[in-house]
C-alpha cells in the first residue's frame, strides 16, 4: 500500500506517557489489563503495551498498582521486562470485570479527543473539471454532469442524486471518494461514561501503511471511509447497539462514516421509511452534530462531519417535504444517456469483455433497447447485455459472439414483456 502522511497538522496525537495525556481513567485501563491477562495468561509489560496500544510507562503504572494489590505474580524476567500472571485474587477480579464487559482490545480514546480529531480532519477539497474528469475516468460522464458534481463536492454538504434507474447514480456517488487525496486517523474505540464504543471496522475502514512512529497507536491511519447502505437500512443501524453478551457498544453507520461519505442507495426503498430517516437527520444535516444515547439514558454529542449522498430513482417530492429538501443544498439529476454516450459506453464494455462485435452492433443494440414502447437508453444496458452474451457462450461451450441474432437473443432474455 502507498505511504501517506499520517494526517494534516491540525491533528497529530503524540504517544501518551501518562494518564493525563491518555485522557481515560486508570480504572478503565486496569480493567483492560485484567481482561487481557485473563485471555493471554503469561504476559509482559511490552506485550500488554502492544495488545492495548498504550505506552510501556502507562502499563508500568498499572502493573505497579496491581503488584501492590497482590493481583499479579512475577514468574521471571525477559531481559529488562517482567514475565507475570494473574494471582488468584487477580483472576477473581478479572472474572468479575469480564462479566461487565469483554472488551480487551486497544485502549479507547476519550470522547473529547474524538470530537476534536473529527473536527480537525473535516474534509476540505478543491477540484476543477479536469480533476473530476480524472477521478471519474472509468465512467462516461458529460461536462455538464461534472460541472454539477464539482461545486457539490467542494461544498461538502449533502447531495441528492436522482433520476431513472440504471444510469450510474451509485457509481457516481462511490467515485466521489477519489477526490480526497489525504488520509485520516480513526480510533479503534471511544470511551463515553466508562463505556466502550467500538469504532474502527476493518470491513469499511481501509488502513494505510505509514512511517510515522510517534503517532498515538490507539488511532489507525485510513483512507477516508465510504459506506454504502441500501434497502437493509433499519433505524437501529443509526443508533448505538449494545451487544448484551460482550457489553460492548457498536458505533452507528454515521459515526463510522465520519470524515468520509455515507451513501444511502435506493433511497425510499428501505425498511425504514424516508420520513423517519429524514426526521432522524434533520438536526445532524443542519448543525453537523448528532446525539447518541447509552442504554441507561446518558446522551452525548458526536460530530456529524460526513457527506451524505442520497441516491434514488424516485421523485424527490414523493420522498421528502420542502423543509427537508431545503437542507440538502445539492440536487443532481442523472438523466438517461444520449446516443453518443451510449455508444461510448458500449465500446468500452465490448473492449473490456474482449468480445468481437460487428461494426454496427452499437446501433443495432440501441434499436433493440428502444423497441416495444421503451423510450430511453440506459447506461447499464451495454454491460448487462454483454454479460448475457458471455453467459450464453459459456452455456454453449464457445466464445461469445455479438451478431444481430445474438443481440436479439440476449435482449429477449433481458427485457420483460410489456
- Domain limits of the chain? 25-106, 117-333, 339-414
Confidence category of residue 314, pLDDT binned at 50, 70, 90: confident
Q: CB 303: neighbour CB atoms within 10 A? A: 21
The predicted structure's pLDDT at residue 326: 80
Location of C-alpha cell 480526497: 180
Residue with cell 459506506: 227
pLDDT tens by residue, 352-387? 999 989 889 999 999 999 998 889 999 999 999 999
Whether the pLDDT of residue 8 is over 60: the answer is no
**Quick one: pLDDT at residue 348?**
94
Q: Which three cell numbers stand for residue 127?
A: 477540484
Q: What is the pLDDT of residues 110-122, one digit of tens each?
A: 999 999 999 999 9
In this predicted model, which residue has the larger pLDDT, 61 or 12? 61
What's the CA gap between 172 and 310, in Å, rounded? 12
pLDDT given for residue 272 in this prediction: 85
Query: Are 307 and 154 in contact, with CB atoms under 8 Å apart?
Result: no
- Maximum Cα interatomic distance, the chain, rounded to a whole number of Å: 85
Mean pLDDT of 226-244: 93
Q: What mean pLDDT is reported for the chain?
A: 92
Interatomic CA distance for residues 224 and 261, integer angstroms? 8
Determine whether 336 is exposed, middle or buried from the number of CB atoms within 10 Å of its CB (0-12, 13-18, 19+). Answer: middle
Rounded mean pLDDT of 131-156? 94
**Angstrom distance (rounded) from CA 9 to CA 362:** 52
- In 3D space, the residue among 70, 29, 74 whose CA is nearest the CA of residue 52 turns out to be 29
- Among residues 37, 30, 46, the alpha carbon closest in space to that of 80 is found at 46
| pLDDT one-digit tens code per residue, 179-228 | 998 999 999 999 999 999 999 999 999 999 877 778 999 999 999 999 99
Report the CATH fold assignment for 339-414.
Answer: Helicase, Ruva Protein; domain 3 (1.10.8)
> Which CATH number does 25-106 carry?
1.10.10.10
Report CA 390 to chain centroid distance, whole Å.
33
If you write DSSP's letter for every residue of 336-404 in order, what string do you get? Answer: PB-HHHHHHHHHHHHHHHT--B-TTHHHHHHHHHT-TT---B-TTHHHHHHHHHHHHHHHTTS---B-H
Contacts of 224 (CB under 8 A, 6+ apart): 123, 177, 180, 182, 183, 184, 259, 260, 261
The three cell numbers of residue 145 are 454532469
For residue 75, what pLDDT is reported? 92
d(C-alpha 168, C-alpha 175), whole Å: 11
DSSP-derived letter for residue 43 is B
Determine the pLDDT at residue 10: 57
User: What is the rounded CA–CA span in Å between residue 351 and residue 35?
Assistant: 57
Angle, helices 45-52/56-68, rounded to nearest 10 degrees? 120
Provide the grid cell at 53. 496500544
Which CATH number describes the domain made up of 117-333?
3.40.50.300
- For the record, the C-alpha cell of 333 comes out as 439529476
Percent of the chain with pLDDT over 90: 80
More confident residue, 271 or 250: 250
Helical axes 26-40 vs 88-100, angle rounded to 10°? 110
Q: Give the pLDDT of residue 281.
A: 87
Mean pLDDT of 60-77: 95
CA distance 75 to 87: 11
Amino acid at each position: 500500500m502507498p505511504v501517506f502522511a499520517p494526517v494534516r497538522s491540525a491533528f497529530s496525537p503524540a504517544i501518551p506517557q501518562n494518564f493525563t495525556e491518555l485522557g481515560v481513567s486508570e480504572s478503565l485501563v486496569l480493567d483492560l489489563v485484567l481482561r487481557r491477562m485473563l485471555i493471554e495468561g503469561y504476559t509482559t509489560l511490552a506485550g500488554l503495551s502492544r495488545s492495548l496500544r498504550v505506552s510501556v510507562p502507562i502499563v508500568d503504572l498499572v502493573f505497579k498498582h496491581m503488584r501492590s494489590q497482590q493481583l499479579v505474580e512475577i514468574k521471571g524476567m525477559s531481559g529488562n521486562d517482567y514475565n507475570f500472571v494473574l494471582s488468584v485474587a487477580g483472576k477473581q477480579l478479572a472474572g468479575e470485570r469480564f462479566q461487565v464487559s469483554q472488551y480487551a482490545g486497544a485502549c479507547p480514546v476519550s470522547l473529547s479527543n474524538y470530537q476534536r480529531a473529527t473536527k480537525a480532519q473535516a474534509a476540505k477539497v478543491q477540484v476543477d473539471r479536469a480533476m473530476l474528469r480524472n477521478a471519474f475516468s472509468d465512467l462516461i460522464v458529460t461536462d455538464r454532469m461534472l460541472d454539477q458534481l464539482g461545486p457539490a463536492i467542494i461544498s461538502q454538504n449533502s447531495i441528492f442524486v436522482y433520476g431513472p434507474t440504471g444510469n450510474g447514480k451509485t457509481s457516481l456517488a462511490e467515485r466521489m471518494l477519489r477526490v480526497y487525496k489525504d488520509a485520516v486517523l480513526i480510533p479503534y474505540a471511544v470511551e463515553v461514561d466508562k463505556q466502550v464504543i467500538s469504532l474502527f471496522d476493518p470491513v469499511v475502514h481501509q488502513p494505510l501503511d505509514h512511517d510515522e512512529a510517534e503517532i498515538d497507536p490507539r488511532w489507525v491511519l485510513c483512507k477516508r471511509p465510504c459506506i454504502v447502505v441500501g434497502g437493509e437500512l433499519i433505524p437501529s443501524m443509526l443508533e448505538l447497539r449494545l451487544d448484551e453478551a460482550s457489553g460492548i457498544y457498536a458505533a452507528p453507520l454515521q459515526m463510522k462514516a465520519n470524515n468520509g461519505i455515507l451513501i444511502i442507495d435506493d433511497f425510499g426503498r428501505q425498511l425504514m421509511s424516508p420520513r423517519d430517516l429524514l426526521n432522524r437527520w434533520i438536526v445532524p444535516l443542519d448543525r453537523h452534530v448528532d446525539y447518541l444515547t447509552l442504554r441507561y439514558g446518558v446522551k452525548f454529542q458526536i460530530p456529524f462531519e460526513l457527506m451524505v449522498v442520497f441516491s434514488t430513482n424516485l421523485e424527490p417530492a414523493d420522498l421528502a417535504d420542502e423543509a427537508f429538501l431545503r437542507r440538502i443544498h445539492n440536487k443532481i439529476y442523472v438523466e438517461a444517456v444520449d446516443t453518443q454516450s451510449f455508444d461510448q459506453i458500449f465500446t468500452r464494455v465490448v473492449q473490456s469483455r474482449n468480445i468481437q462485435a460487428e461494426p454496427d452492433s452499437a446501433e443495432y443494440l440501441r434499436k433493440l433497447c428502444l423497441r416495444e414502447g421503451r423510450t430511453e437508453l440506459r447506461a447499464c444496458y451495454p454491460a448487462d447485455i454483454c454479460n448475457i452474451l458471455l453467459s450464453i457462450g459459456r452455456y454453449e461451450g464457445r466464445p461469445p459472439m455479438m451478431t444481430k441474432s445474438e443481440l436479439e437473443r440476449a435482449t429477449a432474455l433481458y427485457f420483460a414483456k410489456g
